Structures are given as structure tokens and as C-alpha cells.
A = this chain, B = another copy of it.
């Protein structure tokens, strides 16, 4: 009995998109309202304030009408002026990639790059900024998803604040899955999205923009306006009395509303714990099978995805295909530099459940074994179960 490629898998345990929460899926089907209907405009205002509560930011966040790459590109275009020197921190494919966007707009982009299975050392940032007082903006990815690794954005944020620069954070796949916020990281711009740990489908972005960032954007003559990439266009759109720059994604906003309700009702701490326990169960299982994690240390491994290093001589592609065909479980490939070298098991939103970690261990182990790798699947399952029990009894 195998699962054909032509049919959806049974479980999607990827690093996003993951399946949305059932209440989000139902909310997507809510009657579509005219965006200028007073009931909709009031809804959009309430929704923005609810997102502000969830994000814990000082100003109402932007809800942008595209998945977070829109917000990231827009952030670069808006914040970075042509006389700015930018320091880009690259510990993975996404962090590295942001540098290319920064380079489009900046006078100069400096970069600290570290191997993609490690994290940025905040002390290196401190030293760099000391040596380069001309740096005005520092860019960092909190969870570099293609590596499954975390940068300590709170520590980096403190260093950046001390240096009087502005921090631009990509927290797309960490926010709502672990303790991280615009405030704790002192971010000028903090980009995230509802399509990862919040359990929505992809198509919207959430962006916390600080007072300082707005001042910088407003002073930037090249900041996009009347554009899909614009932040400014949307600054006041959250108010029920203000127009929309263009038609918002009504159905997705209904989904976001349900997701925020769920998040706030379950309680952020409980949600984060669920992600952390799931990651722990997954990793204990993986390691016990004799497989290595991709990050050099578990301290920098994100609780929202487990990146598993492929054993020597084994490409990730066939392992993914085998896991899907044998066990009906879809997992994520790497990207660019990490493609082929690792597989990512997502722990995000509805899939942040230890039970799924156990299944992921079974599928990963079984697929590797079927392809001839030396793995002890039983040891993996036992360790995963033990880690789960330990978390339950903690």
C-alpha cells in the first residue's frame, strides 16, 4: 500500500504552507463583503487592533495583501534610502537573500555571513557596528527556515539599539510559535505572516513598524507609494474612516480573524509550549535514530521546524518522495544552498503537536531505511515517545 503522487498526502508536516486550523478554513468561506461597507471597515479596524494585541507592538500593524515576501521586499524598498549603509546578517538562504533586496536600495550593503548551520553572534554585530558607525540599518532573519536555525534577535536588537541603528527583522516563521516580538527585539520593522505558526493559508503579511521606522520611511523620497510594495499607502488604512489603497483580500482577512481569536484564546504561552514540545519530541527521535540535526547546536534550532541533515551520500529528494509514497507524509525540502542536504519537518500551527513529531520520525526513519541508510527507527520512536512523556509529566 503506497500513496500516489497524484493524490494529496495524508499529512502535511512541512515548514509551510501547512494546513490551516479548521476554524480558519471555515472562516475563509464567510460571506464576502464590499470593502467600503461600513461593517467591513469596522471589521478591518478591529482586526488590526487584534493583530496589534497578538504582536504586542506599539502601533497598529500593517496587514499587507500578499504573503510575507511582499512585506520583506516592501520593507527594503521603504526603509532603505539610497544613501543608507546597511548591515545584512546572513546565516541562511533567506537572510542572504534579503541582502540582494537591500542592495537594490542602499548605498552600500555590508554583510556578516556565517555558515548556514550556525547563527550570528551578537558580539560580532557589536564589533562590526563599532567599526562601522555609518551603518544605519541592520537586517536579520529570526528563523532562517531553509536551515531551521534561529538568530537571537533580542540580543542583536539590543546591540543595534545601542548603536543607534534600525533593525529590520524577518520573523515570518518564528512569530506565534515561540517567544518573539517586535518589542523584545526593538525592531524598527518586524515582518511576519499568518501563514506559518498562526495557522492560516499563505497570502497576507503582518508588519509592525515603529515610530522611528515610519519617520525614516517618510523621510525616504524613494519609498514606494501608489504601489503594491508601499507601506505608506496602508499606514492609515486600518482606520474605519480611511480608504483602502486597493481591494484587500477579504476572505483571507476573515481567516486571519479566526486565527487570531484562536491564538489569543489558547494563549500565546500555551501555543509556544506546544511548538517547543513538538520540536523536542521530533529531535530526540531523529537523533536517537542515528541521524544528525542540521544546526550545529540545538540551542539555535527553531522550535517551529526541525532541519534534519541527510546522511552522507543520500540526497534529500528521494527521501522526501519515499516518505510521501510510503507513509503519506509530505515534508519540506531545503532551498538553494541547503537543497538536497536536509529535510525540514515543520512544527507550525495545527501541526505543532507531538503526535505529528512521532509520525515524522517514523516517516523519516522509514524512508531513510528503505533507501539503504543505517538508521535505528525503533530507537527513534522510543526516544520520541520518551521525550513526549517527559514533557507531559514535567
Contacts and interface: CB of A to CB of B under 8 A. Distances in A.
B392 A385 contact: no
Given A39-B5, A226-B100, A66 B69 contact: no
Contact of A31 (B22, B229, B324, B392): B22
Contacts of A35: 17, 202
Interface in A51-107: 65-67, 69-70, 73-74, 100-101
A250 B11 contact: no
Interface centre among A17, A354, A388 (most CB of B within 10 A): A17
Contact of A246 (B19, B67, B226, B252): B67
A201 B251 contact: yes
Given A34-B330, A201-B32, A392-B1, A228 B66 contact: yes
Contacts of A1: 273-274, 277, 354, 391-392, 394
A8 interface: yes
A387 B277 CA distance: 28
Interface of A: 1-2, 5-12, 14, 16-20, 22, 25-40, 42, 65-67, 69-70, 73-74, 100-101, 195, 201-203, 226-229, 246-252, 255, 273-274, 277, 324, 326-330, 332-333, 353-355, 358-359, 362, 365-366, 369-370, 377-378, 381-382, 385, 388-389, 391-392, 394
